[in-house]
């Protein structure tokens, strides 16, 4: 699904981890499409990121401004009221963001808005917020940017995003991004596909063009790394009110694995955004949302959580993950599958991803290939 964290995982791995490995260990080679060694910068479009990060933040502010109105509240003074309106206008006309003058006054207003009591009240609803536009919600890296220092930095004219800033921001993937590297003599290609609804419809047709088959004359192996956002467990489906985006994610995984083009692929599931999931289940406002995952909890566990907010972390993870494992167990039993709970914004994701590639995919599944 869009925003599950696929590109964040890839960015963390390729940009931060692999770059280091390639520089320090000759067994690793970062490559171009034709397997020649890639010497230039892995990705360097700072201008695109700068504008996207600003847009992400203005999008989030716009969502919370609308929540202030929904709450029936007003901003502290007329000046903020006018500024809020101008931010709404800016979000509605996103293409103007790159040309907005990043003045001291603009930054000051942003900070004043952040500190406004009505805005703070709206922010406190961040785990529940959902406006009536499908797939529009505050991005999950928002907390990283919501402080005076970071906001001022991002909205300075000369701002250049750091790698960390990029990790926390959202740049939806359009079509497919490809990455190539070699570990010893084994060639590894990673395709990162977009997960928004408009992109998902195209994925099955892409698959038909990729070499995901297994034939006896080659040692090729293909895997699907399916990234699930745990944070979607309480995000209502735009069309089916008794379902969530997590249910849609499980249904999509099923459709993907039913495709003849994935018949020979192993499947690896990252249950991502475990930090956001934990924040939500400990938020009293989200207590009733446990009903979306109640099939995975015993009546006593459900009661204890609803009445007292008490829960065992592992049980909650299991309850969400059950939706996926049940499908694997019932319909895709012959698939080799692995799963991990992850937090893609945590640098430790690099080791998780790396271990998975190296130990599980490479060593267990193509052990004959490695020198």
Ligand X SMILES: Nc1nc2c(ncn2[C@@H]2O[C@H](COP(=O)(O)OP(=O)(O)OP(=O)(O)O)[C@@H](O)[C@H]2O)c(=O)[nH]1
Q: With binding defined as CB under 6 A, does residue 261 bind ligand X?
A: no
Q: With binding defined as CB under 6 A, does residue 126 bind ligand X?
A: no
Q: With binding defined as CB under 6 A, does residue 344 bind ligand X?
A: yes
Q: With binding defined as CB under 6 A, does residue 280 bind ligand X?
A: no
Instruction: Give the Cα separation of 287 and 123 in Å (integer).
Output: 18
What is the CA 329 to chain-centroid distance, rounded? Answer: 26
Q: How many CA atoms lie within 13 A of 9 on its CB side?
A: 29
- For 364, residues 6+ apart whose C-beta sits below 8 A from its C-beta are none
Instruction: Give the Cα separation of 121 and 100 in Å (integer).
Output: 28
Query: For ligand X, which is the closer residue by CB, 57 or 297?
Result: 57
Query: For Mg ion, which is the closer residue by CB, 6 or 280?
Result: 6
10 Å CB burial of residue 242 (0-12, 13-18, 19+) is exposed
- For 141, residues 6+ apart whose C-beta sits below 8 A from its C-beta are 56, 167, 168, 169, 170, 345
Q: With binding defined as CB under 6 A, does residue 341 bind ligand X?
A: no
What is the CA 177 to chain-centroid distance, rounded? Answer: 15
The interface mask with Mg ion, positions 141-180, x = CB under 5 A, is --------------------------------x-------
Q: Among 273, 296, 311, 341, which residue interacts with ligand X (rule: CB under 6 A)?
A: 273
Query: For ligand X, which is the closer residue by CB, 116 or 192?
Result: 192
Minimum Å gap between C-beta 319 and ligand X is 19
Q: With binding defined as CB under 6 A, does residue 7 bind ligand X?
A: yes
Minimum Å gap between C-beta 219 and ligand X is 29
Could you tell me the CA-to-CA distances from 180 to 60, 163, 188, 302 in Å, in that order? Answer: 34, 20, 6, 46
Q: Is 158 annotated as a binding residue?
A: no
Q: Is 275 annotated as a binding residue?
A: yes
Q: Is 3 annotated as a binding residue?
A: no
Instruction: Give the Cα separation of 81 and 33 in Å (integer).
Output: 52
Q: Among 14, 61, 75, 141, which residue interacts with ligand X (rule: CB under 6 A)?
A: 141
Q: With binding defined as CB under 6 A, does residue 238 bind ligand X?
A: no
Task: Considering only residues 165 through 204, tell me which ones interact with ligand X, judged by CB under 6 A.
Answer: 167-173, 194-196
Instruction: Give the Cα separation of 352 and 231 in Å (integer).
Output: 20
Task: Considering only residues 173 through 192, tell me which ones interact with Mg ion, judged by CB under 5 A.
Answer: 173
Q: Which two tokens stand for residue 13?
A: 């791995």
Instruction: Give the Cα separation of 317 and 343 in Å (integer).
Output: 13
Minimum Å gap between C-beta 272 and ligand X is 5
Q: Among 66, 276, 280, 323, which residue interacts with ligand X (rule: CB under 6 A)?
A: 276
Q: Among 5, 138, 161, 266, which residue interacts with ligand X (rule: CB under 6 A)?
A: 5
Instruction: Give the Cα separation of 143 and 237 in Å (integer).
Output: 24
Query: For ligand X, which is the closer residue by CB, 22 or 167?
Result: 167
Applying CB under 6 A, the residues found at the interface with ligand X are 2-8, 139-141, 167-173, 194-196, 227, 272-273, 275-276, 343-345
Which residues are known binding-site members for GTP?
Answer: 192-196, 272-275, 344
Applying CB under 5 A, the residues found at the interface with Mg ion are 6-7, 173
């Amino acid at each position: 699904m869009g925003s599950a964290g696929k590109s964040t995982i890839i960015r963390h791995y390729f940009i931060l981890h692999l770059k280091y490995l390639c520089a320090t260990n000759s067994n690793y080679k970062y490559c171009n499409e034709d397997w020649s060694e890639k010497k230039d910068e892995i990705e360097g479009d700072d201008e695109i990121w700068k504008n996207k990060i600003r847009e992400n933040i203005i999008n989030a502010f716009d969502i919370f401004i609308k929540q202030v109105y929904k709450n029936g509240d007003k901003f502290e003074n007329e000046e903020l009221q006018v500024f809020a309106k101008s931010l709404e206008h800016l979000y509605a006309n996103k293409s103007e963001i790159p040309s907005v003058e990043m003045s001291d006054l603009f930054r000051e207003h942003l900070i004043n808005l952040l500190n406004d009591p009505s805005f703070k009240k709206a922010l406190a609803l961040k785990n529940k917020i959902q406006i009536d536009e499908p797939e529009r919600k505050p991005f999950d890296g928002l907390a990283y940017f919501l402080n005076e220092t970071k906001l001022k930095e991002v909205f300075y004219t000369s701002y250049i995003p750091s790698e960390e800033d990029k990790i926390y921001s959202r740049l939806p993937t359009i079509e497919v991004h490809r990455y190539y590297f070699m570990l010893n003599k084994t060639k590894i290609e990673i395709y990162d596909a977009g997960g928004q609804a408009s992109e998902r419809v195209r994925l099955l047709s892409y698959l038909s063009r990729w070499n995901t088959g297994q034939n006896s004359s080659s040692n090729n192996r293909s895997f699907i790394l399916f990234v699930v956002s745990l944070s979607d467990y309480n995000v209502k489906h735009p069309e089916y009110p008794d379902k969530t985006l997590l249910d849609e994610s499980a249904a999509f995984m099923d459709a993907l694995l039913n495709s003849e083009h994935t018949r020979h692929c192993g499947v690896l599931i990252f249950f991502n955004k475990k930090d956001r999931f934990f924040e939500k289940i400990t938020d009293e406002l989200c207590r009733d949302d446990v009903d979306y995952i109640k099939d995975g909890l015993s009546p006593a566990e459900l009661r204890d959580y609803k009445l007292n907010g008490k829960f065992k972390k592992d049980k909650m993870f299991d309850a969400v993950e059950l939706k996926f494992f049940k499908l694997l167990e019932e319909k895709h039993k012959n698939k080799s599958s692995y799963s991990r709970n992850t937090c893609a914004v945590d640098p430790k994701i690099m080791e998780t991803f790396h271990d998975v590639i190296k130990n599980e995919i490479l060593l267990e599944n193509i052990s004959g290939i490695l020198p």
